[in-house]
Amino acid sequence: MEGEAEIDRLPIDLLAHIFGLITSFTHLAHVCKKWKLGVKQSLARRKNLSFAGWKMDDDSTARLVGYAYSLKELEISRSRWGCQITDNGLYRMSFAKCISNLTSISLWGLTGITDKGVVQLISRASSLQHLNIGGTFITDESLYAIANSCPQLKSIVLWSCRQVTGNGLLFLVNKCGRLESINVWGTRLPLDCFIGLLTISPALQIKPEGLLLNAGVASMLPVA
Q: Mean pLDDT, to the nearest integer, of 48-53? A: 80
Mean pLDDT taken over the chain: 82
User: Vertex 181, ends 177 and 184: CA angle to 5°?
Assistant: 115
Could you give the CA distance from residue 184 to residue 157 in angstroms, rounded to a whole number? 7
pLDDT in tens, 151-192: 999 999 999 999 999 999 999 999 999 999 999 999 989 889
CB 118 within 8 A of CB 148: no
| Cα 94–chain centre separation | 12
Q: Is pLDDT above 60 for 206?
A: yes
Phi–psi pair at 18, nearest 5 degrees: -65, -45
| 43: number of Cβ within 10 Å | 23
Ramachandran area for residue 211 (φ above 0: left; ψ -120 to 50: alpha; else beta): alpha
More confident residue, 165 or 9: 165
pLDDT of residue 220: 53
Side-chain half-sphere CA neighbours of 65 within 13 A: 30
Neighbours of 177 (CB within 10 A): 11
Based on its alpha-carbon atoms, the radius of gyration of the chain, rounded to whole angstroms, reads: 21
pTM confidence score: 0.81
Q: What share of the chain has pLDDT > 70, as a percent?
A: 71
Average pLDDT over residues 112-121: 97
The pLDDT of residue 31 is: 54
| Coil vs helix vs strand at 207 | strand
Q: How confident is the model at residue 41 (pLDDT cuts 50, 70, 90)?
A: low
Q: Between 119 and 10, where is the model more confident?
A: 119
CA-based nearest residue to 190, from 170, 210, 205, 204? 170
Confidence of residue 91 (pLDDT cuts 50, 70, 90): very high
Q: How confident is the model at residue 208 (pLDDT cuts 50, 70, 90)?
A: confident
Cα–Cα distance for residue pair 102/96, rounded to 1 Å: 11
Lowest model confidence (mean pLDDT) among 80-89, 99-108, 152-161: 80-89
Average pLDDT over residues 33-57: 72
The pLDDT, as a whole number, for residue 49 is 85
Query: Is residue 202 scored above 60 in pLDDT?
Result: yes
